[in-house]
């Protein structure tokens, strides 16, 4: 190998690259001319690491680089070179720390955003009133409609002589109107809005009736041990029953069925499981006989 020939070596860091260069050229570090091409990086969270890269050659009278550089320059020791390299690394490390995003701070900022940002726009409220009034006209139940909002919750209230007709069948007609209204507004607006429809004071009375009915059925279940059910309840009505019985440790409640309207079962803990397993066991015994 010619003395003036240069080679490039890589290592985990500069010191490792120098050690590899010494082994490759079979000389000590003091006899090497070293040019640092890259000090390497540790990456972010251990990813995207880059190795240190050096260009080295053996010192000698025949080396062109030795002739070009002042010979009186004292050779730096290994420790001095490493210190110099570490100083070069320090600013880049600090810069990376400053540029690194802080996701935790962003989460806190989002969590602290005032809820007033979720207020529903006046255009949406106006459209709810217009569409609901039109639906009622088509039903020949023209009524007074008022719309109010609390953050993203929008409540449309129907008043007038047709309230009794609208809340007939335990509010099924009212629920259907609410469903249609939500679909109509959802096609026109992308705003987050939860639309609830009420007529007179039907919702308040209905919720109170469901609470009393749930408690009544719970008492009957505790006395007889037989499961009771309340059929055809929408999600908000089922929630009223579940909340009314959630602190009663002697009974349980759960929704069963398919679709938006489901029934709520009220039963003794574990009773349903024992009964069903017993029936299955009897059936198997009959087949075996």
Going from the C-alpha of 6 to that of each of 3, 65, 130, 187, the distances in angstroms are 8, 10, 83, 71
Give tens-digit pLDDT for 249-270.
999 999 999 888 899 999 999 7
Q: What is the reported pLDDT for 20?
A: 86
Using the 8-state DSSP alphabet, how is residue 29 labeled?
Answer: G
Domains (range + CATH), the chain = 7-99 (no CATH), 117-200 (3.30.300.20), 204-288 (3.30.1370.50)
Q: Does pLDDT of 209 surpass 50?
A: yes
- Cα dihedral: 175, 176, 177, 180 (round 10): 120
Q: What is the reported pLDDT for 108?
A: 41
Q: Does pLDDT of 286 surpass 70?
A: no
Q: What is the reported pLDDT for 9?
A: 83
* Pairs from 114-118 (Cβ < 8 Å, separation ≥ 24): 115/151, 116/151, 118/151, 118/152, 118/192
For the chain, give percent helix, strand, coil, nearest 5.
50, 20, 30
Mean pLDDT of 74-94: 59
CB 185 within 8 A of CB 132: no
> Which helix or strand (DSSP H or E) is residue 56 part of?
strand 52-58
69 in helix, strand or coil?
coil
Name the more confident of 252 and 90.
252
Instruction: Name the least confident of 2-11, 66-75, 216-225, 233-242.
Output: 66-75
Q: What is the reported pLDDT for 93?
A: 57
Going from the C-alpha of 88 to that of each of 14, 36, 95, the distances in angstroms are 12, 11, 12
Cα–Cα nearest to 228, from 239, 244, 216, 217 = 217
CB 166 within 8 A of CB 132: no
This model's pTM is above 0.75:
no
Mean pLDDT of 4-29: 81
Phi, psi of 264 (to 5 degrees): -110, 120
End-to-end alpha-carbon separation of the chain, Å?
Answer: 96
CB 158 within 8 A of CB 198: yes
113 in helix, strand or coil?
coil
Q: What is the reported pLDDT for 197?
A: 93
Give tens-digit pLDDT for 143-198.
999 999 988 899 999 999 999 999 988 888 999 999 999 999 999 998 888 999 99
């Amino acid at each position: 190998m010619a003395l003036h020939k240069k080679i490039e070596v890589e290592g985990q860091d500069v010191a490792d690259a120098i050690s590899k260069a010494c082994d490759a050229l079979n000389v000590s570090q003091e006899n090497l001319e070293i040019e640092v091409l890259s000090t390497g990086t540790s990456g972010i969270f251990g990813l995207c690491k880059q190795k240190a890269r050096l260009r080295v050659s053996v010192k000698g009278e025949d080396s062109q680089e030795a002739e070009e550089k002042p010979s009186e320059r004292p050779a730096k020791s290994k420790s001095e070179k490493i210190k110099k390299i570490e100083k070069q690394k320090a600013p880049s490390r600090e810069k990376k720390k400053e540029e690194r995003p802080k996701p935790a701070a962003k989460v806190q900022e989002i969590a602290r955003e005032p809820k007033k940002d979720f207020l529903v726009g006046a255009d949406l409220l106006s459209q709810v009133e217009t569409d609901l009034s039109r639906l009622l006209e088509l039903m020949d139940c023209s009524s007074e409609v008022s719309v109010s909002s609390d953050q993203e919750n929008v409540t449309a209230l129907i008043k007038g002589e047709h309230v009794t007709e609208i809340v007939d069948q335990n509010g099924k007609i009212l629920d259907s109107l609410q469903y249609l209204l939500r679909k109509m507004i959802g096609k026109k607006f992308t705003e987050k809005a939860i639309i609830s429809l009420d007529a007179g004071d039907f919702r308040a009375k209905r919720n109170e009736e469901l609470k009393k009915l749930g408690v009544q059925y719970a008492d009957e279940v505790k006395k007889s041990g037989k499961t009771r059910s309340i059929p055809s309840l929408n999600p908000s009505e089922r929630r009223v029953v579940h909340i009314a019985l959630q602190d009663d440790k002697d009974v349980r409640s759960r929704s069963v069925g398919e679709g938006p309207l489901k029934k709520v079962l009220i039963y003794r803990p574990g009773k349903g499981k024992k009964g069903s397993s017993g029936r299955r066991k009897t059936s198997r015994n009959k087949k075996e006989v």
